[in-house]
Amino acid sequence: MQQYNCIIIEDEPLAAEILQDYIADIPFLTLKKTYGDALSALDDLRSNDVDLIFLDINLPKLKGLEFIQTLKNPPHIIITTAYHEYALQGYDLNIVDYLLKPIEFSRFLRAINKLKMLTSAKAAVSPVFIPSDTNYMFVNTGKKKVKIYFNDILYIESLKEYVRIFTPDKTVTTKFQLGQIEEQLPKADFLRIHRSFLVAKEKIDAFTSTTMEIGAKQLPIGRSYKELVMNILDRTVR
């Protein structure tokens, strides 16, 4: 059975205690640590193997959703909050589930089962094959595998269960989720700008606070990605 190392980021002691008790009842969850704020967790996340974060939204110093956007390669995240109005923004950031307090154990268990389903699907045969130490990948399309060089990718668009990969001379569609293919690509070379778009940094021709141009294509910058995108691009053009 796959084991998951997890942490809790929660500033309410009672809420943290409830989560600790729930985690203790799940044999494949191992609680590594509980934090009262997100900043305290950042250093440990860089050095420790964490598979899952139970994350409150209304935290001191750094809010939960802002914290997610600071992570270059975030683990799985389950939001735990009393505020329902951030649910859409949370799912824009590819969270596993959004739990409203007070959290019943049955609802907690549904979220964990959802995590298991997601990771099981990801562990299945991947439609993307990237040989080690190479600058290309193969993706399944139809009954064949198509070779795509990373340097040729302009941007990738999400089509729910599929993605469409755009290069200067071809467009390839494969059954894969955008978040999954994002994890496979060189992180320094690609930037998530919207729940539906991942772009190659070197192919960006122009940008504003709300849009980005790659060739003749204008792409939207999602509200929940805006601050992170602007920070990265501002550092790039200095």
Domain ranges of the chain: 4-123, 128-237
Please tell me which residue, 32 or 44, carries the higher pLDDT value: 32
Query: Of 180, 191, 190, 93, whose CA–CA distance to 139 is shortest?
Result: 180
Average pLDDT, the chain: 87
Q: What value, to the nearest 5°, has the Cα angle with vertex 21 and ends 18 and 27?
A: 140
Q: What value, to the nearest 5°, has the Cα angle with vertex 95 and ends 93 and 99?
A: 125
Q: What pTM was computed for the model? A: 0.55
Return the CATH fold of 128-237: OB fold (Dihydrolipoamide Acetyltransferase, E2P) (2.40.50)
> Around Cβ 210, how many Cβ atoms within 10 Å?
10
DSSP alpha helix (H) spans, 53-175? 64-70, 87-92, 105-123
Q: What is the mean pLDDT of residues 49-65?
A: 91
How far is CA 147 from each of CA 2, 134, 161, 175, 236, rounded to the nearest angstrom? 32, 12, 21, 15, 29
* Contacts for 28 with CB less than 8 Å, ≥ 6 apart: 1, 2, 3, 4
Please tell me which residue, 121 or 150, carries the higher pLDDT value: 150
pLDDT for res 125: 46
Determine the residue type at 215.
Answer: G
pLDDT in tens, 179-237: 878 877 888 899 999 989 999 999 999 999 899 999 999 999 998 888 888 888 876 65
pLDDT for res 211: 94
Q: Most distant CA pair in the chain: distance in Å?
A: 57
E-strand stretches of 28-154: 29-35, 52-55, 76-81, 97-100, 128-129, 136-141, 144-149
Return the CATH fold of 4-123: Rossmann fold (3.40.50)
Length of the chain counted residue by residue: 238
